[in-house]
Amino acid sequence: MKVNHDVVFEQKQKAASEAVKHVKDGFIVGLGSGSTAALAITALGERIKNEGLKIMGVPTSYQAFLLAVECGIPVTTLDEHPVIDVTIDGADQLTPELFLIKGGGAALAREKIVASSSKQNIIIGDEKKKVDFLGLNNQFVPIEVLPFALSPVNHQLFRLGGKTVVREGIRKLGPVITDNGNIVLDVVFGEIKDPVKLQLTIKMIPGVVEVGLFVGLTDIAYVGTSCGLEKIEKSRK
């Protein structure tokens, strides 16, 4: 299928613009990673410049940190602010239940820590991110692994039925090294009928730092579509 990049960009932009309306004066904001989250960070920078919005951001990656600084968003840490008011982030796939696959930018561990520390989590994306089941279309699940444990974890994931690939750098030879000094395995499981169970099983493997399955963390998703914007809301209680 041919992808029209202008259309996808417009959909991401619509979702990002809506999400940043949730941010109020005095908020601590989790700043997600990836191209869609970057639009939200940029939009927050605009609100700071135009409205004098007073916020501080907790970046989920070095990418988000650099962009926040460029956009004039004061940055803080989880040590200073362990509770975040709202986090805005992207996703690789999302379902109507608001189950997610994340980690396309290898930031899954920090993204999940920040999401788990947030009172509200908003996910933004374009319509091709929305699926009935996670894992459709051969979407891989990113798994961050301690380098020491790479081979045994790889073996265990193979036994679980996963097809694993070590994520390689682009214009850098060898594996991608995460912001935490780890390696990412991209694992295709096919259709994931029970993401809760799969997440728990993988998390139990020694050496697994984090799994890119996000369940029960998201409150709202804004999905830009060809005719507007879809809002999906779930109660986490």
Residues within the interface to ligand 5RP (CB under 6 A): 32-37, 89-92, 102-108, 111
Q: Which is nearer to ligand 5RP, 103 or 207 (CB)?
A: 103
Of residues 18 and 111, the one with the C-beta less far from ligand 5RP: 111
Shortest distance in whole angstroms from residue 236 CB to ligand 5RP: 19
Nearer Cβ to ligand 5RP (49/124): 124
Catalytic residue flag (residue 51): no
**CA 86/CA 122 separation, integer angstroms:** 7
Q: What Cα–Cα distance (Å) separates residue 165 from each residue in 135, 142, 184, 203?
A: 15, 10, 8, 18
Closest CB 90 distance from ligand 5RP, rounded Å:
3
CB of 214 to ligand 5RP, least distance (A): 9
Q: Which ranges constitute the DSSP H helices of the chain? A: 5-19, 35-51, 62-70, 108-116, 150-159, 195-203
Catalytic residue among 46, 70, 111, 144: 111
Please count the CA atoms within 13 angstroms of the CA of 98 that sit on its side-chain side.
Answer: 21
Q: How far is the CB of 54 from ligand 5RP (least distance, A)?
A: 26
Q: Which residue is nearest to ligand 5RP (CB)?
A: 104
The side-by-side arrangement of strands in the sheet containing 56-59 is 56-59, 28-31, 84-89, 118-126, 220-225, 228-233
Beta carbon of residue 65, minimum distance to ligand 5RP (angstroms, whole number): 14
Cβ atoms 211, 108 nearer than 8 A: yes
Nearest to 223 by CA among 18, 83, 32: 18
- The half-sphere exposure of 199 on its side-chain side, counting CA atoms within 13 A, is 17
Which residue, 33 or 154, is less far from ligand 5RP as judged by CB?
A: 33
CA distance 143 to 173: 20
| Closer to ligand 5RP by Cβ: residue 117 or 151 | 117
Distance (Å) of CA 201 to CA 27, 157, 195? 35, 10, 10
- Answer for the pair 205, 157: CB distance below 8 angstroms, yes or no: yes
- Known catalytic residues are 111
